[in-house]
Amino acid sequence: STGRKVVITGVPGVGKTTVINASLEALKEEGVDYTSINFGTCMFEVACEQGKVHDRDEMRRLDQDIQCSLQKTAAQVIARINENVIIDTHCTVSTPSGYLAGLPAWVLNEMRPDIIVLVETDEDQILKRRLSDMSRQRDMEGYAAIKDHQRYNRYMAASYSMMTGCTVKIIKNLDYLLDNAISEMVTLLR
Ligand code: AP5
């Protein structure tokens, strides 16, 4: 396929959707176009049609085989897009039975990303952002669990890079420094 495929990841509440939306707006003004796809939304639409869930936070608690099959369907839909595309998703998903790979081999082989971005920030800031977002059913995790998840995501990004030859870019989205994150993202995507 043609066009660049950039996968953007980060633990829930790190602010990846915020950074993506602002960056795409800035790029549009420069005449650079990306289609933005939220992987979770693609999965959610299929899961809803099949009557499996009512809200997106239920998905990570579904049986492993169901999550994998939803993942595969979403990847196939995204693989068909022949233009610059941003995929807003997760390096790994924290499920009741452990970390689930967000981009297992069957997803990577469909999507063939050029770059994987890890949006990160300090764990205490993530905790605070999750607590202030009332619209979601966030997992009750502490500082140590979030730190563990961010670290595990880096290991997994390294293995995705080994499998596909994609690069891995880490972008910090620190409190009061959202503009820095946006400007780094814009430079990367331009
Ligand atoms: P998804 O839709 O990605 O949900 P999420 O993980 O909860 O991510 P959010 O979009 O809510 O958080 P965010 O990090 O983007 O933060 P936001 O910008 O809102 O995934 C939903 C589900 O889909 C998953 O749970 C999973 O089940 C499934 N899924 C997805 N991909 C999958 C895959 N590949 N395989 C299997 N399952 C998959 O910002 C949060 C808050 O922070 C906001 O209040 C914002 O204002 C604030 N904020 C942002 N930046 C800053 C800053 N610099 N300073 C201060 N505050 C800030």
Tens-place pLDDT, residues 70-86: 999 999 999 999 999 99
Contact 175 CB / ligand 1 (< 6 Å): yes
For residue 3, the CA-to-ligand 1 centroid distance in Å is: 25
Contact 146 CB / ligand 1 (< 6 Å): no
Tens-place pLDDT, residues 153-188: 999 999 999 999 999 999 999 999 999 999 999 999
For residue 166, the CA-to-ligand 1 centroid distance in Å is: 23
Query: For position 1, what pLDDT does the model report?
Result: 54
For residue 94, the CA-to-ligand 1 centroid distance in Å is: 13
Which two three-digit tokens encode residue 117? 């971005």
Mean pLDDT of the region 94-103: 96
Tens-place pLDDT, residues 2-19: 789 999 999 999 999 999
Query: For position 190, what pLDDT does the model report?
Result: 94
* ipTM of the complex model: 0.92
For residue 105, the CA-to-ligand 1 centroid distance in Å is: 23
**CA 39 to each of CA 76, 85, 90, 91: distance values in angstroms, whole numbers, following the listed order:** 11, 12, 8, 11
Count of all residues that appear for the chain in the document: 190
Contact 133 CB / ligand 1 (< 6 Å): yes
**CA 148 to each of CA 97, 143, 155, 170: distance values in angstroms, whole numbers, following the listed order:** 15, 9, 11, 16
